[in-house]
Amino acid sequence: MGTVVAMPAPAKRDRSDKPKTGHIAFTEQRLEKLRRPAAGAAYIYDTEEPGLCVRLTAGAASYV
């Protein structure tokens, strides 16, 4: 029979740099309650309007 070759396990990816995402129905009250991340960015998508998103950073909220 053939030779058995042991393959190393793939390295786990560090996902700390990946932006956080979520989906909610946008209302003024819900948008005001969103918590901004200490570092990086978070993207929250509207469930009612396709393509509408708010990007949250430590210093600002921007609609994209």
Query: What pLDDT was estimated at residue 53?
Result: 96
**What digits encode the pLDDT tens for the residues 10-21?**
766 655 666 788
How far apart are the C-alpha atoms of 20 and 8, rounded to whole Å? Answer: 30
Residue 24's CB: how many other CB atoms inside 10 A? 15
Strand partners, 56: 42, 61
Q: Determine contact, residues 53/64, Cβ cutoff 8 Å.
A: yes
Confidence (pTM): 0.68
